[in-house]
Amino acid sequence: MSGVASSAPGATFEVERFEWTSDDRLELVGRWYGLRGRRFIRPMLDVEVDGARRRMLALLDHKPWAADEGDEWIAAFLWKGEPAELAGAELAVGPDLAVELPSPGSRAGARPAGRAKSRRRPAKRATIVREVRPSRPSPRDTELAAARLEVERLAAEVAAAQGEVAELRDELERARAAHAAESDDLGRRIAAEREAADGLRDELAAARKDAPAAEAALREREAAMRTQAATHAAELDEALRGRDEAARQRDAAMRQRDAALRDREAAVGERDAAAAAERESAVGERDAALEERAALQRERDAALRARAAMERELTAATRARDSARRERNAWMSRARLATAQRDGALTEIDEAAAAREAALGERTEAIAARDAAIREREAAVREREEAISERETALRERDVALRERNTVVHARDEATHTRDAVVHGPDAPAHAPDEARRARPSAPSAADHFVPSPISPGARGPALRVWAPRVAAVVALLLLVAIVALLIFWAT
C-alpha cells in the first residue's frame, strides 16, 4: 500500500491502512487533519476495475460520517464478487471533499512465500482531489451539488438494496433446497424408524405368542419336578423309617442279649473263659451291628443330599421361569419405549417443520417490507426530481418575466420620450432621448426595483407579472429545501 503526499492546503487525510480484510470487505483506516468542524455524509468509495467504475457506500459498523481532528477514522465497504486489482480509488465524504486513495494491499493473511512478516509501514498522506471552498458559495450550486451527491448516494443505496434482495433470494433458494434435503432425510429416518418399530412389533407379537407355550412348559416341568421330588422324598422317608425300625429291633435284641449275658455271668461264674469268649463274640456282633447302623446312616445322608440336590434343581427351574418372565417383560417394555420414542420423534419432526415454515413466512414478510421501503425511497427520489423540475420551470418563468419587464420598461421609455417631445415641443434637442437612454442603467439594475407612481396606475399589471414568478420561485425553493432536509433525515 502506498500513498501520494498532498501539497494542497486545508484538509488532509493520512492513510494508515487500506486493504482487503476478507474476500468481500475493503477497510480504510486513517486520520483527518484541518477539517475545521466539518461533518461528513455517508462516505462513498468510487473505484475502477477493468475499465469500469463501481461505487460502494460505507457500512454502518463504524459510523464513518463523523471525524475528529487527528483521531483514527475507519470506513469499511462491502465488495461483491472476487477481489480484483483496482486501477484507481477515490473516497468522497462530502459534496466538496474527495480523496484519491492508493492501491489497496493484499488480503488478510496473504504474504509472499519465503518472506517474513514486515513491520508496519508509516502512514501516507492521501491526495485531496476535490476541496471547494468559495468565498461566497452560491446556494443554488451548493444545493445542486448536494442534490447530485444525494441522488448518487440514493442510487448506490438502491443498488445495494437490490443486491441484498438478490442475496436474500439466493439465501431463500438455498434454505428451500436445504429444507427439501432435510425433509428427504427426515422421511428416510421416519421410514427406518417405522421399519424398526414394525420389527419390534413383530418380535413382541412372536414373544406374546411364545409366552403361553413357554409358561405351560415351565408349569409342566415344575409339576413334574415337584412330583418326582415328592416321590423321592416318600421313598427316602420309607427307607429311613425301615432303617430306624431295624435299628430299634437290633437295639432290643442287643438289650435282651445283654440281659442274658448278665444273667449267665451271674449264674455261671466258673465259666469265665467261655463267657469271655461269648462276650467277645457278642462285642463283635455289636460292632458289626454298629457298622451296619453307620452304613444305614450314610445311606440316609446320601438320600438327604439327593433330596437337597432335587430341591436345588427345583429352585433353579423356578429362577429360570422367573428369568423368562423378566425377559418377556423387558421385551414388552422395550417395545413400548420404542413406540413412545417413535411418537416423540414424529412430534419433534412436525414441530421442526412448523418452525421452519414460520421462519420462511417471517423471511418472506421481511423481504416484502424491504421491497416496500425500496419503493418508498424510489417514490421520494421521483418527488425530488419533480421538485427540481418545478424549480427549473419557475426559474425559466422568472427569466420570461424579466424579459417582459424589460420590454415594459423600454415601452415606458418610449412613452416618456414621446411625452417630452410633446411637452418641450419641436425645439427639444433630438439627442435627449439617446442621452436619457445612455444615462439609464442597463437591465437588470435599478429598474428591477421600479415602483410605478400614482400618476401611472396602468403599470401595476406588469409589476404583478414581475413579482408573481418571484414569489412562486421562492415558494418552490423552500419546498425543495424541505424535501432535501427530509431525505437527508431519512438517509441518516
Residue-wise pLDDT tens digits, 310-358 = 888 888 878 888 887 888 888 888 878 877 888 887 788 788 778 878 8
Q: What is the mean pLDDT of residues 67-74?
A: 86
Q: By mean pLDDT, which of 38-42, 186-190, 251-255 is the weakest?
A: 38-42
Nearest to 207 by CA among 314, 295, 324: 324
Q: Which helix (H) or strand (E) holds 105?
A: strand 105-107
Residues contacting 421, CB < 8 A, separation 6+: 428
What's the angle, vertex CA 128, arms to CA 4 and CA 481, rounded to 5?
A: 160
Using CA atoms, how far apart are residues 219 and 317, in angstroms rounded to an integer?
10
Q: Are 153 and 44 in contact (CB under 8 A)?
A: yes
Q: pLDDT tens digit string along 452-474?
A: 444 444 545 566 777 888 888 89
Which pLDDT score is estimated for 480? Answer: 92
Which of these, 407, 414, 435, lies nearest to 422 by C-alpha position?
414
What is the rounded distance in angstroms from the CA atom of residue 107 to the CA atom of residue 110? 6
Q: pLDDT grade, residue 129 (50/70/90)? A: low
Nearest C-alpha neighbor of 132 from the set 118, 121, 142: 142
Q: How far apart are the first and last CA of the chain?
A: 32
The C-alpha cell of 48 is what?
475502477
Q: Which helix (H) or strand (E) holds 323?
A: helix 272-424
Name the maximum alpha-carbon separation found in the chain: 227
pTM higher than 0.85 for the full model? no
3-class SS of residue 444:
coil
DSSP code for 24: T
Could you give the CA distance from residue 466 to residue 475 in angstroms, rounded to a whole number?
A: 15
Sequence-distant (6+) residues with CB within 8 A of 318 are 222
- Match 435599478 to its residue by C-alpha cell: 446
The yes-or-no verdict on residue 427 having pLDDT over 60 is no
- pLDDT-based confidence at 75, cuts 50/70/90? very high
DSSP-assigned beta bridge partners for residue 13: 32
Distance CA 165, CA 370 (A): 8
Beta-bridge mates of residue 76? 27
Tell me the pairing of strands 25-33 and 72-78: antiparallel
Q: Is 70 exceeded by the pLDDT of residue 84?
A: yes
